[in-house]
Structures are given as structure tokens and as C-alpha cells.
Amino acid sequence: MKIICKECLYKLEVKKIKSLVEKSILMGLGAISLTKERAEKFAQELVEKGEATSEEARRLAGELVERGEEEKVILKEMVSRQMEDLRKSMGIVTKDDLYALEERIKRLEERTGMLSPEGIQ
């Protein structure tokens, strides 16, 4: 039975999460780009059937593409929120959290005389 250190396990979990997020984003972007293609195709079909003028179809396609871009922003925000929730639930600290903690430790060491500004005494 292999023993895995906490840091190694943490790195493995982060890699899994990163991979999952990347796949989710790519799927979302793929769906949006399909929407653009479908919007243009749909608009062209309306023109061919005589149900819309070229100008109306162009405007409709533009509106559909714009909606796709809005959904892209919403998707990105949703993934970011889910990642933040996941990070918190797993107890993973951010670089900013770690930096703040290191600075706090440094200040405490300086105040207690364990560490002078020039280095260890």
C-alpha cells in the first residue's frame, strides 16, 4: 500500500479540478460557437423561405450571436463561482491567503524577537 503525502494528494486534486473546469469551459464555448453557426444558418433559411428579408435575417442573427456572447459571460461567472465554492469546501487556500499568512507570521516573529529584519538571530 502506497502512502501519499498531503501535498501530493492536494496537487492531484487540484489537477483533477483544473481538468474538469477546462473541459466544462470548452464544452460551454463549443455550445456557444454552435449557436453562432446555427443562428446564421437559421437566418439564411428564413431568407430562402421568404419569411424574412436579408436585413431582418442579418439583424436576427446578430441578436442571436449577441445573446450567445451574453451566455458566455454568464457561463464564465457560473464556473468561477462554482470553482470558488469547491475551493472553499475542500479547504484549499489561495496564493493571496498564503501570502497574507506568511506576512502575518513574519510580523509576529519580528515582534517576538524570533526574527530580526536582518534575519534569524
- pLDDT mean across residues, the chain: 77
Q: Which residue has the cell 450571436?
A: 65
Ordered DSSP codes for 89-107: HHTPPPHHHHHHHHHHHHH
Same domain? 34 vs 68: yes
Helices (H), the chain: 6-49, 54-90, 95-112
Contact 90/14 with Cβ under 8 angstroms? no
Same domain? 78 vs 38: yes
Same domain? 42 vs 63: yes
Between 80 and 99, residue with greater pLDDT: 99
Same domain? 23 vs 78: yes
Same domain? 14 vs 48: yes
pLDDT of amino acid 47? 84
> Is 21 contained in some domain?
yes
- Distance, in Å, from the CA atom of 94 to the CA atom of 5, rounded to the nearest integer, reads 20
At CA 65, angle to CA 59 and CA 67, rounded to 5? 105
List the domain range (segments joined by +) for residue 52: 6-90
Strand partners, 115: 120
- Distance, in Å, from the CA atom of 75 to the CA atom of 43, rounded to the nearest integer, reads 25
- Is 0.85 topped by the overall pTM? no
Same domain? 52 vs 110: no
pLDDT tens per residue across span 50-87: 888 888 888 888 887 888 788 778 888 888 888 888 88
> Is 1 contained in some domain?
no
For 52, phi then psi, to 5°, come to -155, 150
At CA 105, angle to CA 100 and CA 111, rounded to 5? 125
Which three-class secondary structure state does DSSP give residue 32? helix
